[in-house]
């Protein structure tokens, strides 16, 4: 009989766990606590060392990415508004066939794009 191996243990990242972060802040004297203002004199570098400094959120995206996001958002919004307001013209521009019998699917598509 071969015994099954237990699954590998998952490491807990205590600095990202909300409860652990709250406990750490309480230990430092900056989380939640009293009316007397005690613990407010804790130096910020100590807090940053214990809680971690999330540098990944401070990274700036390249300008090209911002421009691409803006252009694609404008294009999606334009097609969505055209599908909602002028479903016949959008259908003719895409499929180049005769008119569609029902405008509901095209308007639903426009609503999905807009949302």
pLDDT per position as a tens digit, 48-104: 666 666 666 667 888 999 999 999 999 999 999 999 999 888 888 887 777 778 889
107: closest CA among 89, 84, 88? 84
Of 49, 30, 48, 51, nearest in space to 39 by CA: 30
- Predicted TM-score (pTM) of the model is 0.47
Tell me how many degrees the CA angle 6-17-13 measures, rounded to the nearest 5. 50
Which tens digits make up the pLDDT trace of 105-114? Answer: 889 999 999 9
9-47 pLDDT per residue, tens: 666 555 566 667 777 777 776 655 555 555 445 566 666
Radius of gyration from C-alpha coordinates of the chain: 28
CA–CA dist 73, 92 (Å, integer): 23
Torsional class of 35: left (φ above 0), alpha (ψ -120 to 50), beta (otherwise): alpha
The reported pLDDT for the residue numbered 103 is: 87
């Amino acid at each position: 009989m071969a015994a099954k191996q237990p699954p590998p243990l998952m490491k807990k990242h205590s600095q990202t766990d909300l409860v652990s972060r709250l406990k750490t802040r309480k230990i430092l004297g900056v989380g939640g606590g009293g009316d007397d203002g005690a613990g407010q004199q804790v130096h910020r570098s100590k807090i940053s060392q214990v809680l971690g400094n999330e540098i990944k959120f401070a990274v700036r995206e390249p300008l090209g990415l911002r421009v691409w996001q803006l252009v694609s958002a404008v294009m999606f919004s334009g097609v969505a508004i055209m599908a909602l307001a002028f479903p016949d013209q959008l259908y003719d521009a895409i499929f180049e066939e005769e008119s569609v019998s029902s405008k509901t699917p095209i308007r639903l598509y426009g609503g999905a794009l807009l949302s």
